[in-house]
Amino acid sequence: MAGQQARQAGQTQRTIHVGGEWREADSRATREILDPADAKPFAVVAEGDERDADAAVAAARRAFDSGEWPHTPVAERAALLRRVADLLVRDRESLGLLESRDAGKTLEEGRVDIDCVADAFRYFADLVVGEGGGRVVDAGSPDIHSVVVHEPVGVCAMITPWNYPLLQASWKIAPALAAGNTFVIKPSEITPLTTAALVDLLVEAGAPAGVANIVTGPGHTVGARLAEHPDVDLISFTGGLASGTKVAQAAAVSVKKVALELGGKNPNVVFADACQTDEDFDTAVDQALNAAFIHSGQVCSAGGRLIVEESVRERFVAELVRRAGRIRLGRGTEDGVECGPLVSEQQRDKVEGFVASALAEGAVLRTGGRRPEPSDVRPAAGYFFEPTVLDQCHRGMKVVREEVFGPVLTVETFRTEDEAVALANDTEYGLAGAVWTSDAGRARRVAGRLRHGTVWINDFHPYLPQAEWGGFGKSGVGRELGPAGLAEYRETKHVYQNLAPKPVRWFAG
């Protein structure tokens, strides 16, 4: 069974699925997948290229144009999504373990990801079933029937990142299928394994041949071809700003629909009144740690910018530093480990470069900033980096301006509410942010003034499938999750029916 094959390690896997068949790459090329905890290969996958992308798009085009899937009753499409959710629950342990080894996150994080993926499939199944038959538009005449209806976009190409491989895939696949589209997905070449497993679960659940296709391979070949392909109707991309810009440029040639989620530089604003009691203080510190260091900071919504009121700054940062220094680093599958490695050597090198530039520009290193000593749970070859706190930072520093995507927290200070808002909004990105305060009026004011797609008040990181996820500025365009996430995968059609047509008589004759 292909799904079993996709979960086995140490052998070449057919991770390209086109038109209902698992296959090798057309070129027969392969890629080793490394465990970031020890830098050792534990799987070998197919390495596709433009020819594989073309074959997958052709299969998705045939499946859509044949009409079978887009005209499948909504209740049947929803039932397939629910079956997939049940299969995800069945395979929770094996998929969570695979996500942990592939991306380096802790096993518990991997399990939680699988739960969230199942929730997303159930949510979009319920959403599409609960919709009406269209919106009637009053044309002012009993002889006119006018209705606005929604139809699937067509062939959807999806490009997903390496940090949350399965979760990000589900945010695209579930609404696309619920709306009646076919798709081709290209997961990150670094972390493709669970996405291949998900496609196999779709097949097991009964997805018709050609509806669900996957091509594993690099972005500069497979991803670039999907973005420019004339038979692709929509391209949905989650990743970095530079790559997202190239996707948008390639898609513009054929004027296809584009959805981009491009990361963020997210402020976590802490007012002094959020720390009035010991319990409140501990909660704010704990959430600041979670904001910055969960999954080693490799999160697009990571709260990597702590903006704290001056009167509590020293106490707050001191406790944050103390606790950050006690975070247990190691292989994600080991008991007691709280933070895993970075995903690759390249990513660790990038993070080290950010820290070096920050110190050169005047930041003060309070903790971390280096590779940890090896241990029995932390192999020397692994891509580990200590949780890092950089104090006395300012907006002119590269580490404050640019997305680090690693376990690095910068500290800035403010005195007034206006200054806090100005600092939080002083970024090219606008994905997410948080405000901590016990003043309900201030919470509403500051949240309303923040130019970020998601604002948490006295919390950090939760998301709801029912809500919408997107950003302002260079964090991208379009929305995922919620009703707007479903709308991204639809076209709107106005059907105007004249029940009693008459001559117009605009012209003589």
Catalytic positions are 261, 300
- Helix intervals (H) in 2-91: 2-7, 50-65, 74-90
The region, left, alpha or beta by phi > 0 then psi within -120 to 50, assigned to residue 206 is: left
Say if CB 235 and CB 226 are below 8 A apart. yes
Q: Is 118 exposed, middle or buried (0-12, 13-18, 19+ CB in 10 A)?
A: buried
Across-strand partners of 457? Answer: 435
Say if CB 181 and CB 235 are below 8 A apart. no
Kindly state the helix (H) or strand (E) to which residue 121 belongs, with its residue range: helix 107-129
Q: How far apart are CA 509 and CA 500, in angstroms?
A: 21
Bridge pairing between strands 364-367 and 388-391: antiparallel
Q: How far apart are CA 6 and CA 14, in angstroms?
A: 7
Count the neighbouring beta carbons within 10 Å of the beta carbon of residue 138.
Answer: 7
**At a CB cut-off of 8 Å and minimum separation 6, what does 166 contact?**
95, 99, 113, 114, 117, 194, 195, 198
Q: How far apart are CA 268 and CA 302, in angstroms?
A: 9
Q: What count of residues does the chain have? A: 509
Taking CA atoms, 317 is separated from 103, 302, 307, in Å, by: 30, 18, 11
Bridge pairing between strands 429-430 and 472-473: antiparallel
Angle ∠(63,58,181) on CA atoms, nearest 5: 40
